Chain A
Amino acid sequence: MDSGFIALITMYLVASVRMATPLILAGLGEAVSEKAGILNIGVEAIMLSGAFFSFIVAFFTGNLYLGLLTGILGGILVSMIHAVLSIHCKANQTIAGLALNFMVMGLTSFLFLIVFGQTTTIPACNMFGDLKIPLLSSIPIIGPALFNQNIFVYLALIGIILTAIFFYKTEWGINLQAVGEYPQAANSAGLNVFAIRYFACFINGVLGGLGGASITLGQLGFFMENVTSGRGYIALVAVILGRRNPIGIFAAAMVIGFSQALQYNLQTLGFPIPTQVFTMFPYLVAVIVLFLSIGKSIDPSALGIPFERNKR
């Protein structure tokens, strides 16, 4: 094969994995949540909160790991608000998620303005560098894509494996599925439906916050208003396309990540087309792929339905 062609493929693959990382992280979290019956369309809010808090701490302390940790906490904060609303208050989960998206977008922009004021130069922080894994990284094509990346990519890959084991090889996965499919049966079998759902929401916060942090600390090095720009929604698409299966989510995120990488590339090639057209590209791909998968999604039966113990 032509070495130039291989180089091109490698380059796209590296970029696709990078673009897919936030989607994989947030998507895995959402999959855990949805398996337990909690539909959180506030992934965008979780990610945005993760992105904001990780940036703020990384900016002022200079410590990236502390930033990463705060990003996770930011994600947990938002997902737990959603959890209390939908599990304890039995609110409509979609509306709660939607409200959180708008609230967090306003809140992070507002806090950002308070901290930095109106500036012409965007404040920047350090970013995680690439960690080259010896031997593995020298495999052609997939080596550079999977084993010469930043910490978030590795976390996402480990996350896929751990989630897959969790879902399909442990009793916990069975419990999670039982709670999402038929909470009354789970309750009757002696499982604590509320605790399991809260736990699932917690995991969603951790992974979603991590996904948000991966944008600011892994891709951009700065924060700005609505920095996630809909990636939370795209992560939801990846979850549905991937049927809540970790490998499926990975594949779906890679397809979308590839179209994002392609989009950036096309923008720089200087076609006489407005850049907005290219920006639309990944979303267009998402819509088309969703069209192709009509009727194939098998949702957990109790998805989005609050569980009530004393109900008649």
Chain B
Amino acid sequence: MALLSMKNISKSFFGKMANSQVCFDLEPGEIHALLGENGAGKTTLMNILYGIYSRDSGDIFWKGQKVSFTSPRDAIAFQIGMVHQHFMLVPTLTVSQNITLGLKEKGYPFTDRKALNATITEVAQKYGLQIDVNAYISNLSVGEQQRVEIIKLLYRDAELLILDEPTAMLTPQETEYFFEVLRKLRADGHSVIIITHRIPEIMSISDRVTVLRDGYNVVTAKTSDISEQELSRYMIGRQLQIIQREAVVSDTGSEGISLEEVSLKEKGRERLNSLSLQIAPGEIVGVAGVDGNGQKELVEVILGIRKQSSGKIRMDGVDMSSMSVLERKKLGIGYISDDRHQDGLVMDMSLTDNILLKTHTDRRFIKHGLINTRLVRAETQKAVEDYAIKTPGLNTPLRYLSGGNQQKLILAREMAGNPKAIIAHQPTRGLDIGATEFVQQQLLQHRSNGCSILLISADLEEVLLLSDRIAVLYKGCFMGIFPNTPELNLSQIGLLMAGKTSEARKESL
């Protein structure tokens, strides 16, 4: 008998179907992967199971019994636990407090914290999860926070663990360690649903896989019976084009972007530590590293959003260290921010107005001191056509466009007029495979046009795919810069991303 069985689940948001008649089965003691692109409805389906969303129709059976959860509390009572993509941990509380949050332990509300800590440590050690129970969440790394989430579920006796994109923020080594934990859990009789869009990981960890596309379930199969190619075809509904990075002869006439011992100190903390790097025209330098190791700072220093404490930044030999953001952009720098909602776009403004955000000082668009709306509209129309942006109209607020189409608008704006340099910070974050492919091809296109590109991505695969050279960033330092050749030692990169220099050195011997 299936442990869990979801039958004909439907759910719509604002008239748009997120799940249509989805069926999903889970056997006891299996690791079942839920695969699909962003927006395919994976998380929605699991949130429905977990009682976070209410479903429009369909039935859920847990151990053969019909259930309906209206809040996570109900799901937890049935020993179902979920780790969300964005961790559900309160940063101002300790590990121990977070783990027991919402539980009524012995002596409640005056619980004996020491006794709880002992139990928590015992549970954690059983699965080889190391954690300091008295540490505050805000001081923990992403990997550690994930451990806390898992311990939280185990402490609550979860029989089924639902994990939403658990490896998105982990280094390759952390991922391997994490999969070991999952295997231990399976051996111990737990069942796991792992939501992901990374096919290789599915092949390595799961017993069965269910693919969702556009809210429908496409296929459920044993992982051993299906190939990576088949999975990717099921997931995106067509054959994926293979991106090829061709050799580009760089034009020696100019220098591109160069950083000379750039440091940034903020609030007494060293954010960037003497970074030196040169990106030649026609070159993509990829920065590998776990999020929060100075990526944002590096990008913003190059653009002039933050001011470096020391060092020089040059563009084609011109020292732009003391220039304003606008002056730098006028030198020909395009900027794709990692957070398009925060830094890239104004969500309530139309496409035209968002195009104007960068070009409002451009003389071409100004006539008698006023903006020449007709010209801007023409420019926007061109962008919509060139980049195949799906939109109801030019005056539609960006909020109503999908993430991929929003990102395309940023590309259209930042890549207009053949920039000399592009700073691409997580350019494909939150995009589905189709849109990702498009963005990556655009970057390669500009590379062939002689653009210097800095690519920062949390996705190591992407860095490997696009970069000519790879720089590893850890705690604001470059741990090394390597040419991206087939001989590149991946586990060395992974160790450097985790700051393990000595082990990495051993690895390279």
Complex partner residue of A171 from B72, B91, B109, CB under 8 angstroms: B109
- Hey, which chain A residues are within 8 Å of B389, CB to CB? none
Query: Which of B81-89, B229-237, B342-350, B414-422 is found at the contact surface with chain A?
Result: B81-89
Tally of chain A residues near chain B (CB < 8 A): 23
A290 CB to closest chain B CB (Å) equals 22
CA distance A188 to B149 in the complex (A): 11
- A178 touching B90 in the complex, CB below 8 Å, given contacts A190-B72, A190-B73: yes
Asked if A293 lies at the interface with its beta carbon under 8 angstroms from chain B, I say: no
Asked if A182 and B13 make an inter-chain contact with CB atoms under 8 angstroms apart, the answer reads no
Asked if B72 and A170 make an inter-chain contact with CB atoms under 8 angstroms apart, the answer reads no
A183 CB to closest chain B CB (Å) equals 10
B70 CB to closest chain A CB (Å) equals 9
Asked if B54 lies at the interface with its beta carbon under 8 angstroms from chain A, I say: yes
- A186 touching B102 in the complex, CB below 8 Å, given contacts A174-B93, A181-B90: yes
CA distance A177 to B102 in the complex (A): 12
- A182 touching B88 in the complex, CB below 8 Å, given contacts A170-B109, A189-B102: yes
B77 CB to closest chain A CB (Å) equals 8
Asked if B13 and A190 make an inter-chain contact with CB atoms under 8 angstroms apart, the answer reads no
Asked if A296 lies at the interface with its beta carbon under 8 angstroms from chain B, I say: no
Asked if A285 lies at the interface with its beta carbon under 8 angstroms from chain B, I say: no
Asked if B76 and A190 make an inter-chain contact with CB atoms under 8 angstroms apart, the answer reads yes
- A175 touching B91 in the complex, CB below 8 Å, given contacts A188-B52, A190-B72, A309-B52: no
Asked if A178 and B101 make an inter-chain contact with CB atoms under 8 angstroms apart, the answer reads yes
Size category of the binding interface on chain B: 20 to 34
- Hey, which chain A residues are within 8 Å of B108, CB to CB? 171
Asked if B111 and A177 make an inter-chain contact with CB atoms under 8 angstroms apart, the answer reads no
Complex partner residue of B88 from A175, A189, A309, CB under 8 angstroms: A189
A183 and chain B: residue at smallest CB distance: B90
Q: In residues 151-177 of chain B, which contact A (Cβ within 8 Å)?
A: 152
A119 CB to closest chain B CB (Å) equals 50
CA distance A171 to B112 in the complex (A): 10
Q: Which has the most chain B C-beta neighbours within 10 Å: A170, A174, A178, A188?
A: A188
- Write out, one digit per residue, whether chain A residues 180-222 have a CB within 8 A of any chain B CB (1) or not (0): 0110111111111000000000000000000000000000000
Asked if B53 lies at the interface with its beta carbon under 8 angstroms from chain A, I say: yes
Asked if A312 and B102 make an inter-chain contact with CB atoms under 8 angstroms apart, the answer reads no
Q: In residues 425-444 of chain B, which contact A (Cβ within 8 Å)?
A: none
Extra 11 A-B pairs, beta carbons < 8 Å, given A181-B93, A190-B73: A171-B100, A174-B93, A174-B101, A182-B88, A184-B88, A185-B89, A186-B90, A190-B72, A191-B101, A309-B52, A310-B52
* 10 closest residue pairs by CB, A with B: A190-B73, A189-B102, A185-B88, A190-B102, A170-B109, A188-B88, A189-B101, A171-B109, A191-B102, A178-B90
A sample of 20 cross-chain residue pairs with beta-carbon separation below 8 angstroms, ordered by A number, consists of A170-B110, A171-B100, A171-B104, A174-B93, A177-B90, A177-B92, A177-B93, A181-B91, A182-B88, A185-B87, A186-B90, A189-B88, A190-B71, A190-B102, A190-B103, A191-B102, A192-B73, A301-B91, A310-B54, A312-B13
